[in-house]
């Protein structure tokens, strides 16, 4: 979804853990098609991937632990609404000078 809505420039770095989905050839092919560079943590070393770890910690604290998720569909909807309706558009990020990602990308 982010690739379709944001159209990142080649050279974007995709941080992830070593999960099998991120190592799958189809997934890697999509990243390569968009010129996205992969960044994975070393085995059992979350500090290599602090950005992704921080994001998932924030997602859990601000959404997952606050609501009771009834189904996979409800979970997907809640995460989508959190990301698109709040996290990317309104939530201020300290690493972006306390701007939202959309405001940060839109500055001139």
Nearest one of 64, 60, 67, 58 to 93, comparing CA atoms? 58
d(CA 50, CA 32): 23
Q: At what angle do helices 50-62 and 72-82 cross, to 10 degrees?
A: 110
Contacts of 73 (CB under 8 A, 6+ apart): none
Flag whether the pTM goes above 0.85.
no
In tens digits, what is the pLDDT along the chain, a chain of 108 residues? 678 777 788 888 888 877 788 889 999 999 999 999 988 877 776 666 677 778 889 999 999 999 888 899 999 999 999 999 999 889 998 889 999 988 998 886
d(CA 43, CA 55): 19
């Amino acid at each position: 979804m982010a690739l379709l809505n944001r159209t990142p420039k080649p050279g974007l770095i995709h941080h992830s853990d070593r999960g099998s989905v991120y190592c799958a050839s189809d997934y890697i092919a999509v990243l390569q098609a968009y010129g996205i560079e992969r960044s994975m943590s070393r085995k059992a070393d979350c500090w290599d991937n602090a950005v992704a770890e921080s994001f998932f910690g924030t997602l859990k604290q601000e959404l997952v632990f606050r609501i009771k998720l009834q189904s996979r569909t409800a979970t997907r909807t809640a995460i989508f609404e959190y990301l698109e309706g709040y996290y990317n558009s309104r939530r201020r990020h300290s690493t972006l000078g306390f701007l939202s990602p959309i405001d940060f990308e839109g500055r001139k």
